Amino acid sequence: MTSKLFPEQLQGLQRHDTCTLSNAIESFEVRLRNEGFAAACVRRLTPGPVPLVGYAVTLRIRCANLPKDGHPYVERTDWWDQLADMPGPLVVVIQDMDEKPGTGSFIGEVHAAILAALGCVGVITNGAVRDLPALEKTSFEVFAGSLAVSHAYSHIVEVGGPVEIGGLTVHPGDLLHADAHGVLSVPLDIAGQIAAVADAIVQRERRVLELCRSPGFSLEKLRDAVKGIFH
C-alpha cells in the first residue's frame, strides 16, 4: 500500500481547488478524464473556507426499512474503534443503498460531533444529512445528495468495503479532495507530486488572465500564452 502523505503535502493539495487538481491529475495520464470524480448529485452543504482533504473510511447503510436484526444504527458503534487506529485526516464515506437514497439521515449534529471527536474532518454521502444549520456552524465538512427530516430506520449494512458515491467507487484509505465543485479521488501513487504540478498550472493560467485584462492584448499574444494549457 502507498504510504500516507506528510502533513505539508496534504496542505499543498488543500491549497488548490478541485478543478485545478483535476487538471494536474490529467497531466499524469493515469486514468481517463471522465473518471475519478463523483457526479453533481453529491454536493457541498457546509461553507468550509478550504477544500476537504482526507482518507476514506467507508460504510454502507440503509434507511427505508427496519434492519433485519432489529437494531437501530445507534447500537452499532463497533466501527468507531477502527477510527482510532487509522492515520488522519479521515473522511467518512457513506453509501445509502436504498433504492431511493435519502429517506433517512445517518448524519446529523450529534453524530457529526462524535465523528469529529474521533478524528474525522467530514462526511461524503449519496444519501441525506440533517441538522444543517447546526452543521454549518462547525468545522465538520458535509457533502451529501439531499437533506432529510428524520433518521428513519438508519442502520449500517457493511463497514470497510468499497462504496459507490455518485458513480465514484471509493475504497477504504483512498485519498479524497472535495469542494464546491464536487468530490475528486486523488491517486495515491502520484499524490505527492500533484501540488507542484498544480502550482505550475496556476502560474500559466495567471499569465493568460493577466494578458486578457491588459491593454496590450492581441490574438497573437493569446495564442502564444495558451500553449500548453489546453491539452
* Domain of residue 160, CATH code: 3.50.30.40
Specify if 231 maps to a domain: no
Structure confidence by residue, pLDDT tens digits, 71-96: 666 778 889 988 888 888 999 999 99
Structure confidence by residue, pLDDT tens digits, 18-59: 999 999 999 999 999 999 999 999 999 999 889 999 999 999
The whole-number pLDDT of residue 177 equals: 98
Check if the beta carbon of residue 74 is closer than 8 Å to that of residue 108: no
- The answer on 205 and 103 residing in a single domain is no
Range of the domain at 204: 194-225
Bridge partners (DSSP) of residue 144 are 43
pLDDT(70) > 90: no
Specify if 64 maps to a domain: yes
Specify if 51 maps to a domain: yes
Specify if 230 maps to a domain: no
- The answer on 201 and 88 residing in a single domain is no
DSSP 118: T
- The answer on 32 and 67 residing in a single domain is yes
- The answer on 149 and 133 residing in a single domain is yes
Specify if 201 maps to a domain: yes
Structure confidence by residue, pLDDT tens digits, 214-228: 999 999 999 998 886
Alpha carbons within 13 A on the beta-carbon side of 167 = 10
Going by pLDDT thresholds of 50, 70 and 90, the confidence category of residue 67 is confident
- The answer on 119 and 80 residing in a single domain is yes
What is the 3-state composition of the chain as percent helix, strand, coil, each rounded to the nearest 5?
Answer: 30, 25, 45
Going by pLDDT thresholds of 50, 70 and 90, the confidence category of residue 2 is low
The whole-number pLDDT of residue 72 equals: 67
Specify if 2 maps to a domain: no
Going by pLDDT thresholds of 50, 70 and 90, the confidence category of residue 1 is very low
How many whole angstroms from its chain centre is CA 67? 28
pTM value surpassing 0.95 = no
The whole-number pLDDT of residue 3 equals: 67
* Residue where the block lists cell 492515520: 87
- The answer on 136 and 29 residing in a single domain is yes
- The answer on 145 and 123 residing in a single domain is yes
- The answer on 141 and 205 residing in a single domain is no
- The answer on 216 and 118 residing in a single domain is no
Structure confidence by residue, pLDDT tens digits, 161-201: 999 999 999 999 999 999 999 999 999 999 999 999 999 99
The whole-number pLDDT of residue 87 equals: 83
- The answer on 173 and 219 residing in a single domain is no
Specify if 60 maps to a domain: yes
pLDDT(13) > 80: yes
- The answer on 212 and 103 residing in a single domain is no
Specify if 159 maps to a domain: yes
- The answer on 128 and 14 residing in a single domain is yes
How many structural domains is the chain composed of? 2
